[in-house]
Structure 1
Amino acid sequence: MNSKSITKLEDLPDELLLLICRYLNIIEILNGFSCLNARLSKTISEFSIKIDLNIIPLKLINRFLNEILPNISYNVRSLIYSDNFERFPIKLDMFNNLESIHFLNKFSEDFLINTKEIKIDSVPVDIQIDLIKNFFSSNQYKNLKSLELLSYHGFTFSNIQLNKLIQIENLKITLKNNVDLFELLYLLSYSIEQLNIHILYNGPFKSLTKFSSPLKLTKLRYFHLKTTFEDSIQFKQLEKLIIDSFDFIQYLSIETLTRDQNYIDGLQWENFLKKLNYLKNFSFSIRYRFKINENDDQQIRENYLLNSFSTDFWLYQRKWFILFYSTYSNINQNDSTCFIKRKNYEKLFLHTIPYPYAFMDATIDINKTKSTIDQYSTRDIYSNVRHLYYDGESIPIKLECLKNLLDKFQLINELKLDRLIIDYSSLLSNKINLRHLNKLTIYNTDEKISINMNLFNLSSMYNLRYIRIPQICLSDNLQMPKQLETLILTECRDINFDFIYKCENLRILKLFLNNFDRLLENNGELIINIINTIYNNNNNIMETLQLMCHGVNQTKMKIFEKQFNLNNIKYLNAIYDGKSLTIQRSNLYFDQSS
């Protein structure tokens, strides 16, 4: 009698286990394979180096606190901390090898220990000054080597007593304007080796009179400068700063929006870069805006650009290549079928290849490119891009053209589509499939135009866990990815959300509801029905429902919040912050469920 062999999970080879992990996120991997045996713990050890506490579901928090994190603590090097410190009361003293702490918005000195690296993604305005004083006016962070401070508003160093920093080697920061840049450069001149600067607004570009000594950053080897405000820094100003102050620079990276023609002139760049004796690598992304002159020949302009970056210096000595495209098109304005309104300005996009940055803004014309090299495949050009913002500029694009365009960005994690109008007159050979996509956002500026979400092969996008779309894009036969955790619906006119039961792993739902005051009538009966429908359909998983309610009657909203919390329904709590009503499920629900 032949006996059938039974294969157990632990009998699988490491390579197959790691292949399985490709279809899971880190939390699923740690929850499924941790604390089983020594061999499995060793196999998945690479997934425990960096832990994002924010993506741990409420129902698993106790398991992570009591079992998983203590088990993997020796291997954890980096933590992305939860902004809700009470939600995840973690004890950092268990992580003996922790080197990096990453906050999303808030910051707490209690979690520093001997940290070598601190990151804060979106620093609120109200704590910016305190952070500047903490990091740039005290000497208590002697082990801190790497610091990242990002803000939508930009940091300023005005009217703050600063100390020379001798230990910061790597800094990434958003600044308000150019004045703050010079303040910072003098502050860091003794120690900085890598500097990543994003300047948000305009301002005078000159060294302040209070600094009498010349600016010299002798240890600086890597410098990245990004400017958002048009014409924030003129080409000749940038050239003078780098040549005068960055003697030993090896890696130079520039992103800017400008009307200065020198930025798109390869000969100007060549003369500049030849003066940097130690330069090994150079990259840029230039968005050049130019005024349309009917007497100018755009073809002559583009030919000069291409030739200026095709000299021996670019092609043979340095082997640095560029690609560019323009939004300018020769449209016959007398053509009665023309639907595109002529603009006074157009843009020309120019970048080194392969495209060096993780974020990219693109327009409909990216399909029409010219380059100084033909050897790169389209996928090689954009292999570094992880976050793509694609602006369709309300110009109809054929299905196959859209697919061909997105196929160039197969490695992106996040995709945002804006002002996109699709021409459905042609058929699509295959659905759009971006296997690494984690976040999909679609903006809709015209309620009469919707995107058929079935263009995307969502069910095969195994990493897709966040979707933000207008409600009109939902269809009855839309197959949402099973692993979807966050769904944001904008422009909601229909308050029927029975379909939520299909999203079996949904944790967070955010709704932009129209006519919110009407929903508050009859003691908020309609809102109560929405809440009950959503939480009944996701009885075991659903954590947070956020109802956006800008302009709503504040008094009525406060009354509803108070009455809802008095009823204490299904372990749900309501929090109104002036902009949204958040219904949050408490940890007690999951404690009693388990």
Structure 2
Amino acid sequence: MNYNSKNKFEDLPDELILLICRYLNIVEILNGFSCLNCRLSKTIKEFSERIDLNIIPSKLINRFLNEILPDISWNVRSIMFSDNFKRCPIKLEMFNNLESIHFSNSFSKNFLFNIKEIKIDLVPVDIQFDLIKMFFSSNEYTNLKRLVLLSFHGFTFSNIQLNQLNQFESLTITLKNNVDLFELLYLLSSSIEELNIHILYNGPFKPLRSFSSALKLIKLRYFHLKTTFEDSIKFKQLEKLIIDSCSSLEYLSIETLTRDQDYIDGYQWEKFLNKLFYLKKFTFSIRYRFKINENDDQKMKEDYLLKSFSTDFWLKQRKWFINFYSTCSFTNENFSLNGFKRKNYEKLFLHTIPYPYALIDATIDINRTKSTNKQYSARDSYSNVRHLYYDGESIPIQIESLKIILDNFKSINELKLDRLIIDYSSLSSNTIIFRHLNKLTIYNTDEKIHLNINFLNLSSMYNLRYIRIPQISLPDYSKMPKQLETLVLTECRDLQFDYIHKYENLRLLKLYLNNFDRLLENNGHLIMNLINSIYYNNKIMETLQLMCHGVNQRKLKTFEKQFNLNTAHYLNSNYNGKCLTIERFNEYFNQIVEF
């Protein structure tokens, strides 16, 4: 070996460069490897197809606008905007192959030109009606083929006169109730091929308006229906809708919460699905809730369930397998621990395997699962899961048991832990590492219980950039991920944040402060000191958000006005009724770059 030779970075094989990229986010990849040479531009091509303008730090915006985006414009297929369109004013004309535009929760027609796909997340209530009329009743979007409209409140189509649509091929939307489902289906019946529906609330399962023609979705091939409200749609109602109106389906997917026993009966599903002659794939996730009856033989019920999904139809003809588990699997000793008592109802979770959806609510001990396929391991069953919500239901769980559960979800990029109480009586030195985790949320458990999250090896999670956690549970900085960009602290009782300077990559700090009105006393002297202290200690942070529900709005508006009179520190405040946002001007970061 020649020890005098010096290898350059460009001498590395493409495979090794791509491996390095797996430890970086897209901004770091594009900032580090773009505009260097043709070979590297081709190597990182896959990372330039989807651009999220939200994750570009303010200090790099000018470089992206003037150098990087023009260099990769030929390969960009999708762009996600921030709510502040002025923050990163791009010129869409440079993206000749752009197909999709994705908005956070705002929308602007200024960014559209012959676009094929539009996505809007978290649509506010005040713009829902205008969006419905714009997309479903105008002739402005003749090239639009795929539309995604998501909202916490759900869209409604009742009492709105709209034209029947001919151009939509794919639609994903959250609806308010079942009536809106029928209104929408009649509107789309002539064109739609792929439909993803999430119904948030209950309502009569029938159209309120009388329609002259039968509902026939003749082109529909893919149908995913999710209901959140318990018993939103009965099994027989669902069966009739699908058989009568969607007989050409090739893929059917159902997610529901129910007390209707037919949903967990394999014989009923078999009779239903045999009527769909073109069906190639079927997936479901059923949460079934039932009352406890001491005279019932739970084991006999579970044996019947397992047998009903073990017929030749399921195991041999279709090769569709299921997993299920029930809270009845808990012993009485589990529920008597620390005074916890058995509830008057139980839950059963039933799903096809591998679990087909990206989001799972694991409120039940999945280690007690039963399956019609003995060859599937738990980890294989949940390999598709990317967002895990684990609700401990304030029932103490031993640390080893929790680790076994979480170990089945190694591919997740978002983890939410709620009402978690850990029993540390059996201590373990092993920690859990989620290599792909990007977002961690810890909700409040109990004011008297301090949740120690050291069982998570956060410092070794190289993709973790967002953490929301009660202030009292925040680990020491040495145990936190160095690349952290967003930190949300809830239940803040301590106003000392001198440690913020240690987070060298922090862009957003959000604080849920107790007794916010007290901070506004004496012309906001305390809150002013808090803001100055945080920004003085962290020179790179862009945004500070102070959540202030129920605060005296007059006092806060007065503080906002006084604060904005002083622009010497390159800071601007804005109160939107829910939080006070303090942002640094882009000029501040331009000054740093020039320096």
Q: What is the deviation of 1:535?
A: 1.3
Partners of 1:114 and 1:247 lie apart in 2 by 33
Partners of 2:231 and 2:321 lie apart in 1 by 24
Q: Percent identity?
A: 77
Match of 1:163 in 2: 163
The change in CA–CA distance for 1:519 and 1:334 in structure 2 (over 3 A counts) is closer
Letter in 1 for 2:493: R
Match of 2:481 in 1: 481
Letter in 1 for 2:91: K
Partners of 1:278 and 1:337 lie apart in 2 by 51
Q: What is the deviation of 1:333?
A: 9.2
Partners of 2:77 and 2:60 lie apart in 1 by 21
Match of 2:551 in 1: 552
* Stretch of structure 1 that moved more, 342-351 or 488-497: 342-351
Secondary structure, aligned partner of 2:484: coil
Q: Is the CA contact 1:571–1:586 (under 8 Å) kept in the aligned structure 2?
A: yes
Partners of 1:47 and 1:555 lie apart in 2 by 47
Letter in 2 for 1:287: R
Match of 1:45 in 2: 45
Cα offsets for 1:493-549 (capped at 9, x unmatched): 11111111221100000000111122223332222222222212221x200001111
Letter in 1 for 2:513: L
Cα offsets for 1:203-248 (capped at 9, x unmatched): 1112445212111111111100000111110000000110111121
Match of 2:278 in 1: 278
Q: Is the CA contact 1:332–1:338 (under 8 Å) kept in the aligned structure 2?
A: no
Letter in 2 for 1:173: I
The reply to whether residue 582 of structure 1 matches residue 584 of structure 2 is no
* Stretch of structure 1 that moved more, 154-163 or 111-120: 154-163
Partners of 1:478 and 1:290 lie apart in 2 by 47
Match of 2:131 in 1: 131
Partners of 1:559 and 1:405 lie apart in 2 by 50
Alignment of 1:324-403 (within 5 A): 324-329=324-329, 332=332, 339-403=339-403
The normalised TM-score by structure 1 is: 0.97
Letter in 1 for 2:362: A
Partners of 1:370 and 1:499 lie apart in 2 by 48
Match of 1:243 in 2: 243
Alignment of 1:369-448 (within 5 A): 369-448=369-448
Partners of 2:588 and 2:486 lie apart in 1 by 20
* Stretch of structure 1 that moved more, 267-276 or 156-165: 156-165
Secondary structure, aligned partner of 1:287: strand
Q: What is the deviation of 1:14?
A: 0.8
Partners of 2:423 and 2:336 lie apart in 1 by 20
* Stretch of structure 1 that moved more, 522-531 or 498-507: 522-531
Q: Is the CA contact 1:225–1:255 (under 8 Å) kept in the aligned structure 2?
A: yes
Q: What is the deviation of 1:151?
A: 0.7
Partners of 2:441 and 2:321 lie apart in 1 by 32
Q: What is the deviation of 1:330?
A: 6.2
The change in CA–CA distance for 1:147 and 1:477 in structure 2 (over 3 A counts) is closer
Partners of 1:71 and 1:152 lie apart in 2 by 38
Partners of 2:548 and 2:335 lie apart in 1 by 45
Q: Is the CA contact 1:444–1:450 (under 8 Å) kept in the aligned structure 2?
A: no
Letter in 1 for 2:347: K
The change in CA–CA distance for 1:84 and 1:394 in structure 2 (over 3 A counts) is same
Letter in 1 for 2:203: G
Match of 1:67 in 2: 67
Match of 1:78 in 2: 78
Partners of 1:145 and 1:238 lie apart in 2 by 27
Q: What is the deviation of 1:298?
A: 1.2
Partners of 1:322 and 1:425 lie apart in 2 by 35
Q: Is the CA contact 2:326–2:364 (under 8 Å) kept in the aligned structure 1?
A: no
Aligned residues: 592
Q: Is the CA contact 1:176–1:199 (under 8 Å) kept in the aligned structure 2?
A: yes
Secondary structure, aligned partner of 2:361: strand
The reply to whether residue 107 of structure 1 matches residue 107 of structure 2 is yes
Q: Is the CA contact 1:544–1:584 (under 8 Å) kept in the aligned structure 2?
A: yes
Q: Is the CA contact 1:364–1:395 (under 8 Å) kept in the aligned structure 2?
A: no
Letter in 2 for 1:253: S
What is the RMSD computed on CA atoms of the aligned residues?
1.6
Q: What is the deviation of 1:367?
A: 2.2
Letter in 1 for 2:107: F
Letter in 2 for 1:554: Q
Q: Is the CA contact 2:412–2:436 (under 8 Å) kept in the aligned structure 1?
A: yes
Cα offsets for 1:441-487 (capped at 9, x unmatched): 00113112122122111111111000000001024465110110000
Match of 2:212 in 1: 212
Letter in 2 for 1:555: R
Match of 1:500 in 2: 500
Partners of 2:58 and 2:330 lie apart in 1 by 56
* Stretch of structure 1 that moved more, 155-164 or 265-274: 155-164
* Stretch of structure 1 that moved more, 326-335 or 405-414: 326-335
Q: What is the deviation of 1:12?
A: 1.3
Match of 1:592 in 2: 591
Match of 2:57 in 1: 57
Secondary structure, aligned partner of 1:306: helix
Partners of 2:64 and 2:336 lie apart in 1 by 65
Q: What is the deviation of 1:275?
A: 0.8
The change in CA–CA distance for 1:330 and 1:54 in structure 2 (over 3 A counts) is closer
Match of 1:536 in 2: 536
Partners of 1:114 and 1:538 lie apart in 2 by 43
Q: Is the CA contact 2:421–2:445 (under 8 Å) kept in the aligned structure 1?
A: no
Letter in 1 for 2:356: P
Partners of 1:168 and 1:335 lie apart in 2 by 51
Partners of 1:516 and 1:489 lie apart in 2 by 15
* Stretch of structure 1 that moved more, 350-359 or 443-452: 443-452
Match of 2:29 in 1: 29
Match of 2:511 in 1: 511
Alignment of 1:297-316 (within 5 A): 297-316=297-316
Cα offsets for 1:85-132 (capped at 9, x unmatched): 111111111111100001110111111101111111111111111111
Partners of 1:455 and 1:113 lie apart in 2 by 49
